[in-house]
Amino acid sequence: MSATRRIRIGIDTGGTFTDVVAVDEETGELVTTKTPSTPANPADGFLNGIDKVLGLLGLEGDAVTAVSHGTTVATNKLLEEKVENLGFITTEGYGHLLEIARQSVPDGYGNSYFWVKPDRIVPVDLVRTVGGRLAVDGSEVRPLVEADVVAAARYFRARGVTTIGLSFLNSYANPEHEEAALAILQREYPEADYSLSSQVLREYREYERSVTTLVDAAVKPNIRAYVNNITERLNSFIAGAEGSQDGAETEHREVPFYVMKSNGGVLSAEEVVRQPITTVLSGPAAGALGAAVIAQRAGFDSVLTCDGGGTSTDVTVVIDGHPALTTEGTVGPYPSKIPMIDVVTVGAGGGSIAWISPEGMLKVGPQSAGADPGPLCYRKGGQEPTITDAHVLLGRIPPHLLGGEIPLDVDAARAGIEDIAGKLGLGIEEAADGILEISAWNQANALRQVTVKRGLDARDFRMVTFGGSGSLLACRLVDILGLQGVIVPLNPGNTSAYGLLTVDVRNDYVRTAITKHDDLDRAKVAGLLEDLARDADEALAREGFEPAERQFQRTADLRYVGQAFEVRVPVPDGPMDDSLVEAVADAFHAEHHKLYGYDFRGDSTQPVEWVNLRVSGIGPIRKPELREIADGTGSEGAVTGTRRVYFDQWYDAPVVARAQLGAGDVVTGPAIVEEFSSTVPLHPGFVAEVDRFGNLLITRKENLS
């Protein structure tokens, strides 16, 4: 029988590894591990991770009190553009809404001649329109035509289309037509799955609302099947542990199972099935939140984050302890207008493949060898050299991963890179170094997107690097971007899984209510906010939170009349009187100036306009505390040997065991700092100091104060 210890587990499933963190609810002790992901059935890797961490703790399944999970199921489906068997029902006259889309052109109009709009998420022949019309204020212009809805249901059933999205004109203002259509569809074709725009996104802009609804519909069957499969297997696992206790009859319990959302919160498995689109950036969101917590505890409120995995690298910016949020995000080619942490992803992970273009140029990614077959050095059937192969060839990583669990074949890596080098007329070290240089610039360009493009200067920031490959190019990124330095957390390969244990349950609700500031109906705004708060309160009640535990945050999207985009600002608690309304407007002017360098405060020719009202319902979850480590006695005692490492030339660099470093210890490059889940190559000219929480603080020698 397990001891009385009770643990919560965070599991982040990545393209190559599944990362696991367990926290003891009494002592706060953290235990981390990793296990290979199982792309064919991610649930296998999920349960393998639970079994492995329980084995390290000497516990059984009955010790688990809750599990939080970050998943890439929805993300991968959208990134790979594997959307099929999807139908769309919209208002008569708007059948080509998806084709029209928006006029905006990526990278400016200089490239417009060469740009072709991305493929529609639903082909034209799977779009049906129905009669009926609502006005912009939600009043009925023409009644819904039931016969058209019946015909659409029969059309899709005849073609075997089992997933359908509904988005009617102006339904954000009044959901009655969509709800009536849903009742008809479920009567005529109950086997299909449906998503309604008035339930997914009650916000104006027809194209974005429609595509967001269709994305929700597209991933719904996958998320439901995945979550239900894991829930069933997880509870069976726990039941097996409980049922084995002394042969006694036990009332089996269901373990609370939470799934990470894109907005920085978690939801129970039951609620996620209702809101599948909220998971489209599940994994990257967890990493950004974990990194923000670690950085803030270390004394850095504003940082960049760099999460390097086997397939890709995700970067974000954290301001005042909070990762930046956006509702203008995309996943693959599809706009998803839901609140999400503002993540930029680039195909520069450990498994990213190096290749030569038809023009004879060396390229890296975005294609990835993934976990299976993986890089050449895995010896699992990979045929092309990867970033990992370049690192192992240059000695930047050891000839094994996970403390020896996964041996790496240096000769196999060398053979693949020799082939690339020969075609380019380069030495093998130059070719491998070139692969890493291209990867570093790919990551740097992603980091510029979350800084320079948002009016921020990367030179003002330190960067938190994590993930299995996130720290491998840290020193090079300092030089490319002029960063102040780098923070490498303890167990960086498990930062995303740790982040899953630091977040609260969170639901977001929105309602469009476009009104000029001077014409604002205070009572109407107060009523809409109360309606949104009621929806949030009901969701938290379903999640099991007592009324006293439930928290609510109010925000509003404002703009100057004529602008196409909005700025989100807080709406303080309290009655919607003149002083509160003016406080919101003042906050908008200040935030607009902060973002864009100007505002029109006091200019009557540039009036303010309220656009969207938002309420977030938050259910707090107990978070693990970061613990201080013992003082060090000097890094010399942590040196386990030397290894030949290439940093523009070959060095005999000391290999330092990170687990043996203490607070205050200093490592000077060139050196290699190794631990179970990650490796940090410390280039010549760089110094790493261990802080009191075990973080490595990396800076250039000349930047030391």
Domain 505-619 adopts which CATH fold? Dna Ligase; domain 1 (3.30.1490)
Q: Identify the band that residue 282 occupies on the pLDDT scale cut at 50, 70 and 90.
A: confident
Higher pLDDT, 704 or 449: 449
| CB atoms inside a 10 Å sphere around CB 548 | 5
Q: How many Å apart are CA 591 and CA 595, to the nearest integer?
A: 6
Per-residue pLDDT, averaged over 171-182, amounts to: 96
What top-level class would CATH report for the domain 85-220? Answer: alpha beta
Q: What is the pLDDT of residue 249?
A: 47
Phi, psi of 354 (to 5 degrees): -90, 135
Asked if omega into 670 is within 30° of 0 (cis), the reply is yes
Q: Name residue 20's beta-bridge partners.
A: 11, 33
The residue among 676 and 178 whose pLDDT is bigger is 178
Lookup: tokens for 383: 């045929």
In the numeric block, the tokens 């707090």 are attached to 620
> Is the pLDDT confidence value at 107 over 70?
no
Residue with the larger pLDDT of the pair 354 and 624: 354
What's phi and psi for 197, nearest 5 deg? Answer: -65, -30
The mean pLDDT of 51-76, rounded to a whole number, is: 86
Residue 678: which of 446, 350, 384, 256 has the closest Cα? 350
Strands (E), 598-649: 608-619, 639-646
Q: What is the pLDDT of residues 441-461, one digit of tens each?
A: 999 999 998 898 778 899 999
CA 476 – CA 463 distance, rounded (Å): 12
pLDDT number for residue 594: 85
* Three-class DSSP labels, 106-142: CCCHHHHHHCCCCCCCCCHHHEEEECCEECCCCCEEE
Q: Which residues contact 211 (CB under 8 A, 6 or more apart)?
A: 98, 121, 334, 335, 336
The pLDDT of residue 387: 93
Give residue-wise pLDDT tens across range 11-47.
Answer: 988 767 788 999 988 777 888 888 888 877 888 888 8
Using the structure block, give the residue that is written with the tokens 């476009």.
Answer: 514
* 3-class SS of residue 20: strand
Domain with CATH 3.40.50 in the chain: 85-220
Its sign, for the CA torsion 409, 414, 415, 416, is positive
CA-based nearest residue to 351, from 78, 37, 689? 37
pLDDT, the chain, mean: 88
> Looking at residues 603-610, what average pLDDT do you find?
94
Q: What's the full length of the chain, in residues?
A: 705
What value does the mean pLDDT take over residues 672-685? 92
The Cα–Cα gap between 651 and 672 comes to 11
pLDDT, one tens digit per residue, over 372-421 is 788 889 888 888 999 999 999 999 999 887 666 778 889 999 999 999 99
The answer on pLDDT for 422 being more than 90 is yes
Distance separating alpha carbons of residues 157 and 688, to the nearest angstrom? 63
In one-letter notation, the amino acid at residue 555 is: T
Q: Return all residues near 46 (Cβ < 8 A) that are at least 6 apart.
A: 11, 13, 18, 69, 230, 234
Task: Output the pLDDT for position 147.
Answer: 97
Q: Please state, in angstroms and rounded to a whole number, the distance separating the CA atoms of residues 168 and 175.
A: 9
Q: DSSP string of 154-223?
A: HHHHHTT--EEEEE-TTTTT--HHHHHHHHHHHHH-TTSEEEEHHHH---S-HHHHHHHHHHHHHHHHHH
Burial label for 664, CB within 10 Å (0-12, 13-18, 19+), is middle
Please measure the distance between the N-terminal and C-terminal CA atoms of the chain and give it in whole angstroms: 54
Burial readout 73-89 (b: 16 or more C-beta within 10 A, e: otherwise): bbbbbbbeeebeebbbb
> Cβ(245)–Cβ(304) under 8 Å?
no
Q: How much is the pLDDT for 572?
A: 95
pLDDT at 70 over 90: no
The residue with tokens 């490796």 is: 679
Q: What is the pLDDT of residue 116?
A: 65
Cα 79 from Cα 218, distance rounded (Å) = 13
What average pLDDT score do residues 587-597 get?
A: 91
Q: How far apart are CA 487 and CA 462, in angstroms?
A: 7
Place of tokens 């439901």: 224
The token pair that represents 585 in the structure block = 């407007």
pTM, full prediction = 0.82
User: What is the reported pLDDT for 407?
Assistant: 84
Query: Which residues are CB-neighbours of 544 under 8 A, at least 6 positions away?
Result: none
Q: What is the mean pLDDT of residues 648-660?
A: 95
- The residue among 240 and 520 whose pLDDT is bigger is 520
**pLDDT confidence of residue 397:** 92
Which of 71-85, 86-100, 304-318 has maximum average pLDDT?
Answer: 86-100
Dist. CA 219–CA 215, nearest whole Å? 6
Q: Which two tokens mark 70?
A: 């970050």
Strand partners, 257: 67
DSSP 8-state secondary structure symbol assigned to residue 632:
P
pLDDT recorded at residue 401: 73
Each residue of 496-524: pLDDT tens digit? 889 999 888 888 999 999 999 999 999 99
User: From CA 387, how far away is CA 439, in angstroms rounded?
Assistant: 8
Report the C-alpha gap between 241 and 434 in whole angstroms: 51
Pair of tokens at residue 36: 């290979």
Which one, of 412, 424, 463, lies nearest residue 440 by Cα?
Answer: 463
Q: What pLDDT is stored for residue 149 in this prediction?
A: 97
DSSP type of residue 350: T
Find the mean pLDDT for residues 673-694.
Answer: 94
Domain with CATH 3.30.1490 in the chain: 505-619
Q: Looking at residue 280, what is its pLDDT?
A: 83
Segment (H or E) for 604:
none
- Per-residue confidence at 342, pLDDT binned at 50, 70, 90? confident
Residue 73 has pLDDT above 90, yes or no: no
| Cα separation values, 304 from 27, 174, 488, 670, 687, Å | 31, 41, 12, 24, 20
